[in-house]
Amino acid sequence: SKQSNIAGMEAVRRFLWVSLAVVCAYVGLVSSQGSQHTLRTCKARLQNPQTVNRFLAEVSESMMKHYQYGDGFVFSYPKVFHKFIQLLTLGSAEIKKEAKSYIGLPDDVTCDTLYCEAFNSIIDEMNTRQTGYISYASDLYYSSRKLLKTGIFDDCFRDKISNDFSDLAATRKTLGEAYKKFMGKSYDQYLEKDLNPSTDFYMLSGLDVSPLVFREYQKYPSTEQFTDIKGEQKTVEWLETKGFAYFDQKIEEGKTVKLYLNTLNITNGPTQLQMMYLQPIFTTEGTMDKRLFMIKIFKNIGQYITSTTNMNGGGTPLKSLRVPVIEVKTDADLVDILTSVQDDITKSNQINNLFTSLTTVYELRTLEYFDNKFRGDNEDLACMQPSATREETINSPFVFALVDVSSSMPLRVGAYF
């Protein structure tokens, strides 16, 4: 009986040791697998183009689903993603430090670690909720808009992803493939069809043209008759609603451009995009002065978007719009063409991609508004004060005006309808 008890205790002891060994081995295995999984995830996301493409596709799908009517963001999704990749791949030490602080990383983290953490954070956010990427991107993008120059992270990330996201064409191609995968149709075919924001996400033209963003500022009669500088009768339709307006990619002379208005609806995240307004701008001049147009170049349009209350509503198609068209190849060409146009706006032949890149935005204003009509704290950020009455602003050609919204001044766009 004693030997039996000893044998029994020995069996229990062996069982306990074996159990402990199994538990330890399991814990070690799980721990090892966890660390390997993290490493494998980072390595895959840094080196595997399929993973990057899948990320692109997930971003596309998320944004298209959430903003199926084109509502709520200042850029089309390819522009948003390309800009955010820039934030991830470029930037000053100052921006990088702030980004680390935002993400909650210590200052001494390595380049690889920072990239992995940032990349994984975005994916995890996006997987948690469809709008997570947009919230994360907007939080990070607008957290220090005064400091943003070329991006968030420094040059050590530039070669971490196989796709060259500094190449707009390559980015568009990648996004097009992702779009085709999820939508089952060609990206280019989608761009060519007659877009309707009430039934489709209003996809802009890749990375060529930004949507224009507008906020209601004043209300006028819905339509108004006037005689233009050539003596022709024109009808102006004054817009009285808040929302976004988008242009088609390419504008040819005499072509009717469809202009759609979509209102903003952002409920997640602290950043609310400020709505701008669309309004025809006219002057009392009988002929166009050579100095009629003035151009300013703003770097990084993102820093000119400020937060405000969010709007609610659906997309509304607006009346078709005819615009003069000017061919623009370089900044100098743009200046030469615009300053040479006088009393005949039809001399112009192409306005193509006034908003030509992610980092350059052209601001065009009539000089009438520069003569004691506004004062800005900074010349580069000077804003147009809409102090002229409707009677003072009759008979002007089509003109863009983009102003610094950080000081709550409006963006104005004028056109013949």
Give the end-to-end CA distance of the chain in Å, rounded to a whole number: 107
Cα(407)–Cα(147) distance, integer angstroms: 17
Cα(264)–Cα(138) distance, integer angstroms: 15
The pLDDT assigned to 5 comes to 58
Domain boundaries, the chain: 48-192, 212-414
Phi, psi of 312 (to 5 degrees): -130, 150
The pLDDT assigned to 260 comes to 26
231: left (phi over 0), alpha (psi -120 to 50) or beta: left
Asked if 236 and 226 touch (Cβ cutoff 8 Å), the reply is yes
Asked if 39 and 61 touch (Cβ cutoff 8 Å), the reply is no
The pLDDT assigned to 14 comes to 58
Instruction: Write out the chain's pLDDT in tens, 417 residues.
Output: 545 555 666 665 555 555 554 444 444 443 433 433 443 445 444 445 455 445 544 544 444 444 332 323 333 333 344 444 444 444 455 545 554 554 445 566 555 555 555 555 555 544 444 444 444 444 333 333 322 333 333 333 334 333 333 444 444 454 445 444 434 444 444 443 333 322 222 222 222 222 222 222 223 334 545 444 455 665 544 332 222 233 322 333 333 322 222 222 222 222 222 222 222 222 222 222 212 222 121 222 222 222 222 222 222 222 222 222 233 334 344 334 333 332 222 222 222 222 222 122 223 333 233 322 332 322 222 222 232 332 223 222 222 333 222 322 222 232 221
**DSSP β-bridge partners for residue 260:** 246, 317
Q: Which residues contact 337 (CB under 8 A, 6 or more apart)?
A: 326, 327, 328, 348
